[in-house]
A and B are shown apart, each in its own frame.
Chain A
Amino acid sequence: DTAVSQTPKYLVTQMGNDKSIKCEQNLGHDTMYWYKQDSKKFLKIMFSYNNKELIINETVPNRFSPKSPDKAHLNLHINSLELGDSAVYFCASSLKQGGQETQYFGPGTRLLVL
């Protein structure tokens, strides 16, 4: 009964390849996010979707394209992978209740580009 799940957990690939990371949440939340944690452990928001619509896009290269087929899924597709894309990518979801909102994170996908 995992709340926010990501696949794969680990991804090792060559420069120039295209890869996708999948995220699913079974919490019934309306909003989903992608974060990148780089080598300096800095966790930065990349995208946010609310009810399948993009609401936040934080100066991310257009090689990164999020896709939300439905409210419970937010996948991240990365074209032409570069060495600097190596990082841990976290998916999260949130629901606003009574003025309060909390984000719930997935376990992360460790991407290594060689």
Chain B
Amino acid sequence: DQQVKQNSPSLSVQEGRISILNCDYTNSMFDYFLWYKKYPAEGPTFLISISSIKDKNEDGRFTVFLNKSAKHLSLHIVPSQPGDSAVYFCAASDTGTASKLTFGTGTRLQVTL
């Protein structure tokens, strides 16, 4: 039973444009959400997180939006850069922290010139 779903396995965006990566979850107990970025042959790298008491968190070019009623979150990258090309994982926790994460299957983002 996959509690965190990333329904788009891949996404291609032109450099300079906005990339929007989506994530849906089914467990209403999830209260902390994170996005990780992963390059080939490397471990996931933390990007940004959001607590369920917020609906938006911003860090530079990265913004995460949380819609609790829809059980949906999204990661916006503006402007997209070629170095953003990677696999992006959404993760969720029901402990209020990152102590026990449930990951989605990832979305491969390709930023083209």
Residues on A lying within 8 angstroms of B by beta carbon are: 4, 31, 40-45, 48, 55-56, 90, 92, 94, 96, 99-108
Flag if B99 contacts A48 (CB, 8 Å): yes
Interface centre among A42, A100, A103, A106 (most CB of B within 10 A): A103
Closest partner residue, chain B, to A50 (CB atom) = B99
| Complex Cα–Cα for A106 and B100 (A) | 17
* Chain B neighbourhood of A96, CB < 8 A: 97, 99
Closest partner residue, chain B, to A31 (CB atom) = B99
Flag if B34 contacts A90 (CB, 8 Å): no
Stretch of B21-29, B36-44, B65-73 contacting A (4+ beta carbons < 8 Å): B36-44
List 10 additional contacts besides A31-B99, A43-B106, A92-B43; criterion CB under 8 Å.
A42-B103, A42-B105, A43-B103, A45-B101, A55-B99, A90-B43, A96-B99, A101-B98, A107-B41, A108-B42
Q: List 5 A-B contacts (CB under 8 A).
A: A42-B2, A44-B103, A94-B99, A99-B97, A103-B98
Flag if B99 contacts A100 (CB, 8 Å): no
A103 CB to closest chain B CB (Å) equals 5
| Complex Cα–Cα for A56 and B20 (A) | 33
Flag if A107 contacts B98 (CB, 8 Å): no
Flag if A43 contacts B89 (CB, 8 Å): yes
* Chain B neighbourhood of A56, CB < 8 A: 99-100
Flag if A102 contacts B100 (CB, 8 Å): no
Flag if A100 contacts B49 (CB, 8 Å): yes
Name B41-95 residues within 8 Å CB distance of A. 41-46, 49, 87, 89
B98 CB to closest chain A CB (Å) equals 4
* Chain B neighbourhood of A101, CB < 8 A: 97-99
| Complex Cα–Cα for A99 and B54 (A) | 14
| Complex Cα–Cα for A105 and B42 (A) | 9
Name B9-30 residues within 8 Å CB distance of A. none
Flag if A48 contacts B100 (CB, 8 Å): yes
Interface centre among A43, A105, A108 (most CB of B within 10 A): A43
A104 CB to closest chain B CB (Å) equals 7
Flag if A102 contacts B98 (CB, 8 Å): yes
